[in-house]
Amino acid sequence: MDNMNKLFELNSKGIKVYNPDCLDKMKKSSAIVLNTLKEVESKIKAGLTTKEVDKICEDYIKSCGARPTCKGYQGYPAASCISVNEVVCHGVPSDRIIKDGDIVNVDVVAEIDGWHSDSSRTFMIGSVSDKRKKLVEVSKKAMEIGIQSVEIGKDLKEIGIAIEKYVLSQGSFKIVKEFCGHGIGMSMHEKPFIYHFDPKHKLGKIVPGMFFTVEPIIVNGEEDFKELKDGWTTVTKDGSDAAQFEHTIYVGYDGKVHILTDG
């Protein structure tokens, strides 16, 4: 980049390409997100409501001097998205009680000093069926394979191609194609969109300075979903289960891919 005093430049597709000095800023928000999910892991259990889990997230993020980005975003009412079993994503925390055998995705975004990071995990509660365990395993592996495919000079579509190839090899699992990963940094949602399937067209080259998320949602039934009356929560139409894992990554000027929300 010609002017290293700038935080970022826009490439030909309108994607922010950040200056190397921005990495430390993103590491700070990413550590908060990572540790929020560790806090959830230590406390989530059967008998809690999803509202109570959301409070764990909000309290921890605020204790770090950060802000839960989701709260108030386009009117969203909570600090996190909590999606249980058949909930595909964007589950609004409620009085729903978490039960033994449930799978629960917790998705959090934190902002500190103007920088946002995003991550989610699917937690298995108590004695989970083999069917649900396999779904969680495939979901996590799909994200990992997507991240492993990131390489400077490749087209962004290669991420989705790698994920789709893996998921299709695992049997009857499907990808919910309508929900994508995204650029992130000074805003929660930036370009580019990160598809988790083969989009059949080029999306733009992967270059140093990109921050983005990889976050495939996998279901063990049909991928069709519907939105509930709250305007946010989406559920599978056939009642099948969904699972998701997500990391914020950085494409480094050192040629390496850094998973910022892992640890």
215 marked among binding-site residues: yes
151 marked among binding-site residues: no
Burial of 75: CB neighbours in 10 Å, binned 0-12, 13-18, 19+? exposed
102 marked among binding-site residues: no
182 marked among binding-site residues: yes
155 marked among binding-site residues: no
> How does DSSP assign 212-226, residue by residue?
EEE--EEESS---EE
Q: Are 217 and 176 a contacting pair, CB within 8 Å?
A: yes
Neighbours of 50 (CB within 10 A): 25
**Which among 31, 8, 16, 118 is positioned nearest to 73, based on CA atoms?**
118
Measuring CA to CA, how many Å separate 263 from each of 33, 37, 64, 117, 247? 11, 11, 18, 14, 11
What residues pair up with 211 in beta bridges, in sequence order? Answer: 250
Which tokens sit at 16? Answer: 């922010």
Burial of 210: CB neighbours in 10 Å, binned 0-12, 13-18, 19+? buried
Which tokens sit at 224? Answer: 């069709």
The amino acid sitting at 18 is Y
Binding residues for a divalent metal cation: 107, 118, 182, 215, 246
Residue list for the binding site: 90, 107, 118, 182, 189, 215, 246
- Binding-site members for substrate are 90, 189
